[in-house]
Every structure is written in structure tokens, then in C-alpha cells.
Amino acid sequence: MGHVFVRLAGHGLRLVPYWPYRFARAAGPSLVEVAVGSWEGERRAVIGPGSASVPDVVDVTEGTVTGDWRLEVGPFTLCWPDGFDVQSPHDPADRTPCYLIASDQAMIFPQGPTPLERLAARDALVAPGQRIVDRRLLGEDIDVVELAYEHDGAPWWQAHWVIPVGGQQALIFTGQAPVEESGLLRVAGDRMAVTLC
């Protein structure tokens, strides 16, 4: 097991977990539970202001973010929305930086950056069996595409938040859930997109 490329920063700390990991909010706004799984079993630590590193679970250093927890994904930082755990992919071949999990079936995950020319066609983000149910602009330049489809005979919702970065590229957040959980994901995705920096 080794370090990962997703970090959590806030309350004057920076947390770098070992893989595979899960961040969950603990009792109190400044506390985070870090769980690391391995063939030996899961190891856990609750981290907050004044905490030290926990060997083979999480390295804790001083950080520059003094407010609420933010995710650092590669060169980007964004809010960590309430109601979501953050976890690494379980498969080492999965190149997704992390998954934000709200329930067994509801999640948001970042992709990219992707060249903007790949996203130029109106249906570039529409998979077979999906249909566009809404397309909206968030702020001045964040394109949001909402889709409907069926999964195992039930109605599902998916959205893509396309956030321009660096002129010719975009970072994409994709959220998907059963229709009844779409409201939570819509609010979280919007908030993540507008807080990206």
C-alpha cells in the first residue's frame, strides 16, 4: 500500500491517506474518520486539530486551509459536500481519483481534465439508452447536462458538470443515482463545481 493523489485539507491540517482509503465525517465539524483497508483488515483513526500521523493509515501535516475540509484532487481543490464519504477506487487499475459516496447507489466522481474539443458535440456525454432531460448553465461557464435512463428496470438520473480549466480543457464531475436520490446529488454537484479552484 502507498500514498494516494487525493488529500483532505482543512482546520489547519492536510491529510494524506494510504490506499485503499475512506474519509467520513466524524462527530464534530473538525473531525474526520480515516479508514484504510488491507488484507490484514481495516484500520481506523479519527483525526482533527492537534492530531498526529497514524502509521500506515494517514500522514498528517500542517496545512494552509483553516476553514472547513476541502478535497485536493491533483492540482484542484473543491468543497467536501455534507452527506458524502470520500473513498478510493478498490481496483488499482481504476484511474478515477476518488468517489464521493452518498449511499450504496448514489455517487459523484471527477474525471479529466479532458480536451474541450472532445466535448463539443451536444450529445458527447450521452450514452446509449440515455436521454437529456435538462441542460443548464451554472455561473458563467459551467455546463450541466442532466440525463435519464433505466438501470435494472428502475429510473435513474445522471449528470455531468463540465468545468473549464486551463483554457482548452475541462474537469468533469459525474453524478449518478436512482431518481429519488437525484436531489442530493444535484445540490452537491453544483456546490462542488462552483467551489473548484
What are the respective helix, strand and coil percentages of the chain, to the nearest 5? 10, 50, 40
CA dihedral 29, 31, 37, 40 (to 10 degrees): -150
pLDDT tens for the chain, 197 residues: list them: 455 679 999 999 999 999 899 999 998 889 999 999 866 688 999 999 999 999 999 999 999 999 999 999 988 999 999 999 999 998 888 889 999 999 889 999 999 899 989 888 878 899 999 999 999 999 999 999 999 999 999 999 999 999 999 889 999 999 999 999 999 999 999 999 999 99
All structural domains of the chain: 1-101 (no CATH), 103-197 (3.40.1000.10)
pLDDT confidence of residue 27: 86
**Quick one: residue 41, left, alpha or beta (phi over 0 = left, psi -120 to 50 = alpha)?**
left
pLDDT confidence of residue 1: 44
Return the number of other C-beta atoms located less than 10 Å from residue 173's C-beta.
25
**In which order are the strands placed within the sheet that holds 107-115?**
43-47, 32-36, 21-25, 85-87, 99-101, 107-115, 169-178, 154-165, 142-151, 131-138
Adjacent-strand bridge partners of 77: 72
pLDDT confidence of residue 166: 85
